[in-house]
Structure 1
Amino acid sequence: MINQLEIRNISYKYEKDLVLKNVSLNIKKGSFLVLLGLNGAGKSTLFALITRLLKLQSGDILINNYSISNYKKALENIGIVFQEPTLDLDLTVKQNLVFSGALKGISFKETMLSIKDELSTLELENKLDVRVRDLNGGHRRRVEILRALIGEPSLLLLDEATSGLDIKTRYSIISYIKEIVKKRNISVLWITHLFDEIDENDKVVIIKKGEIITSGIVCEIVSENKKDSLTEVFESLTK
């Protein structure tokens, strides 16, 4: 099976502080992978390296078999949802979407066609002409996810995408993301520090202080470590 994302032996320093230590992981086509770690574990640094907000110091990252050193080829077919909101609050939902499509070289018609089905699923059909600042937090997040799906990317990267949202909205968004993995055969890297966002059948990679300490299907990790929950496994491995 094709690796949609492959991270090879990544290490990274901020001045003298080593924040990532020989990190490797991969995501197969049509897979949902959770990167779990506490704040400061190195998750956001890894995300910044994948999206080229930071420059690689060692190792390599491949997207669709292209090294991110080949910027155009590697990043042309991905969708990104950052932890911090990046929508223009003074533009309408439609204007934000069309502008993002234009940055990808996609026409208005192509942009709206590529997200036609998702507009309905995310309950945004009646919000297109609403200014983003007039939306609640849950709807803003849905718009950011919708924007990331413009052009039908093969890989979706989400960094703490449910941060600050209520439980019901968080679960709704997670459920939706898992559904599009199946529907679109898209690959997803879901970065979080919240244990309740992880299902027992999810594949998870746990990172602590810049190092991957375990990975696998949640129920199997729990069983192998003779614990009752992923939380207990995490606590035992991070003492």
Structure 2
Amino acid sequence: PMYFFLANFSFLEICYASTTLPRMLMNLGTQRRRISLVACATQMCFVLMFGVAECLLLAVMAYDRYVAICNPLNYPLVMNHRVCIQLVTGSWTTGIPFLIEYTYQIFSLSFCGSNQINHFFCDVFPILKLACGDTFVNEMLAYMVAVLFGMVPFLLILGSYSKLISIILKLPSVTSQAKAFSTCSSHLMVVILFFGSAIITYLRPNTRHSEGTGKVLSLFYTILTPMFNPMIYSLRN
């Protein structure tokens, strides 16, 4: 199961990075920093969908490690192939209908002022800043998405690891503890990198002086984290 989840995670990271990185490189190379309205909406929708899928898949991977260490004798029974497929399918598809509807709502707003997006890609808050009408409802929905699909999986991961660590510390030998910690170390590093930057970006107060910080943080969870993940897992293995 661990490698089945890793295979899905690797494919997800490729998709996630491919929604933003190619256009960034094209903009830097050609200096034609333009994007159509439809392309912008499509990019935002896929960034949100792949980001939510990654949050949920990381929570599933934490549950897999929890069962493997805390309930090892029943691990093949609990994490059978059917359950693994259901968990992965749920991670990929859970947020899709809501995020498509949310993207449609954002791009149904009136944009009558500047058309310059102060960001590296089409993200929620930079687009909302360009809207003319009241965007309070859209901003609240953005925070709801961040809490529901970001904070909830993160809290589930914290719960799994708190239980995991308490079990590992009770193991009789230092060798057993080191082996158990090494099983979780890669996943824990990825969780800290991805959730740390994403949660700070979407749940911090949306002020004007924080725009630069938001752009820098967005590079972490869209480019740097997918780049570091293969190295983290490969070096561990």
Band the TM-score falls in, shorter-chain normalisation: under 0.3
Superposition TM-score, scaled by structure 2 size: 0.24
Superposition TM-score, scaled by structure 1 size: 0.24
Radius of gyration: which is bigger? 2
